[in-house]
Amino acid sequence: MRELRVAVVGAGPAGIYAADILTRDHPGATVDIIERLPAPYGLVRYGVAPDHPRIKEIIKALHRVLSRDEIRFLGNVDYGTDLKLDDLRRFYDAVIFATGAVADRPLDIPGIDLPGSHGAADFVSWYAGHPDVPRTWPLDAESVAVIGAGNVALDVARMLAKPADEQLTTEIAANVYDGLRANRARDVHVFARRGPAQIKFSPMELRELSHSPDVDVIVHPEGFEIDEAGQQAISGNKGTRLVVDTLLRYLETEPTGADHRIHLHLCQAPVRVIGADRVEGLRTARTELQGDGTARTTADYTDTPVQAVYRAVGYLSTHLPDVPFDHAAGVVPHDAGRVLGLDGVAMPGTYVTGWIKRGPIGLIGHTKSDAAETITSLLADVDGIPRPEMPARSAVVQHLAARGAEVVTWDGWQLLDAHEAALGAASGRDAERIKVVPREDMLRHARR
């Protein structure tokens, strides 16, 4: 069996699953997972709210893959700066891009750029302790609007409404705890364009909104409509039925008078962020369900006074140097994972998987099947892939050293990982770890 040297760019679940499937299906393969951050796991580490401990089980599975001898982690290496596509082709038979989607999808309504208007992805990066975002976040708004009907919108709403002290059992970074402790938000309004049977909340995420005794969840009856398509969705999908049942329970529950409130507004489409010099409110338009799962915007407007707006309307992938990109769809053009050039022909030895391949949709199970499709294509192409000029495992390391890159190896990550666990053990707050946030501090502990 031909020996294969493969680079995977991106150490999130998509990249790690691709490495795992490849090395199991092709015993002659070795993989280098190249990651621009000093830590692995991608959005599992930097895109999930700290009060979701079940994510730790996913990290355990990813850890087992990365610890295998045929897979090597090369962290703190930036594709496009430390390594370019031509470099990768010199060192590897094939390259798989799995860089995901980390930017906020834009929302084109008047006033969206006013001070006090934020992208949810930026806020998530802040509260998840991402090293490349500011250490502070403006949390002086007492009333906040969150635009979106997915789990990210729920995470943002919960993090804004939940008292900071309830996060002390999590891995929340010290600067994030300090910021949330000063948070002034009391009312968080979540606006969804469609009805209860069309929103994309998961049942568990929706139920978690009410887990804090200091938060009331209020579903407003206006817009709580179920059309023919919604009835079919409820009948044919257990998850949809659970979401609607949970919403009905919230609708029928009297508020307790808690200090913090999460308001869920259905069939309300954002049309304008109101304000002169900063956010002062959000104007929404009532929508009417059309019976086929779509909604029509009406001229029935409502203005909600808020001092901050968060748009949670989806993630967006970014263009990678030397790799074709469909800017409208926000993905790399491909055929079953084979990257297509501008002429529509597959680029030799160049592949894609994960959200940058299919868009920011689907759960972990979709990521696995997506990676399997890409690896199937790669292995079918093996005989036609040119061999690299410098396939030795040491060649890329020597190149990075010559470029002055400070590479974090798997052993380095283990040192940083152990330090974070020690911080949690010493904190006295039952946290399993406390994240190190500044990149320079991460590197310092990784090199000890």
Distances (CA, A) of 111 to 117, 267, 309: 8, 21, 10
Give which of 395, 363, 267, 379 is closest to 18, Cα–Cα: 379
- Residue 196 in 3-state DSSP? coil
pTM above 0.85, yes or no: yes
291 occurs within a structural domain: yes
Same domain (yes/no): 173, 199: yes
433/283 Cα distance (integer angstroms): 41
**What is the predicted pLDDT for the residue at 315?**
94
Any idea which residue has 């040491």 for tokens?
A: 394
284/191 Cα distance (integer angstroms): 8
**What is the predicted pLDDT for the residue at 448?**
78
53/39 Cα distance (integer angstroms): 18
Same domain (yes/no): 347, 235: no
299/29 Cα distance (integer angstroms): 60
Distances (CA, A) of 357 to 10, 101, 337, 367, 411: 13, 10, 7, 10, 30
**What is the predicted pLDDT for the residue at 432?**
78
> CATH no. for residue 229?
3.50.50.60
- Give the contacts of 99 (CB within 8 A, at least 6 positions apart): 9, 10, 79, 317, 318, 320, 354, 356
Last residue of a domain, one of 314, 333, 349: 314
Strands 187-191 and 143-147: parallel
**What is the predicted pLDDT for the residue at 90?**
97
**Residues spanned by the domain of 388:** 4-102+317-408
77 occurs within a structural domain: yes
314/323 Cα distance (integer angstroms): 22
241/220 Cα distance (integer angstroms): 19
**What is the predicted pLDDT for the residue at 140?**
97
416 occurs within a structural domain: no
150 occurs within a structural domain: yes
Last residue of a domain, one of 314, 342, 376: 314
283 occurs within a structural domain: yes
**What is the predicted pLDDT for the residue at 56?**
73
Same domain (yes/no): 165, 46: no
**What is the predicted pLDDT for the residue at 207?**
95
pLDDT < 70 regions, the chain: none
Same domain (yes/no): 198, 143: yes
Share of the chain above pLDDT 90, in %: 90
Asked whether the beta carbons of 155 and 317 are under 8 A apart, the reply is: no
Give which of 26, 33, 100 is closest to 65, Cα–Cα: 33
Give which of 75, 58, 64, 74 is closest to 20, Cα–Cα: 64
- What's the number of domains the chain is made of? 2
Last residue of a domain, one of 284, 314, 344: 314
Same domain (yes/no): 344, 298: no
Triad 312, 334, 15: Cα angle to 5°: 65
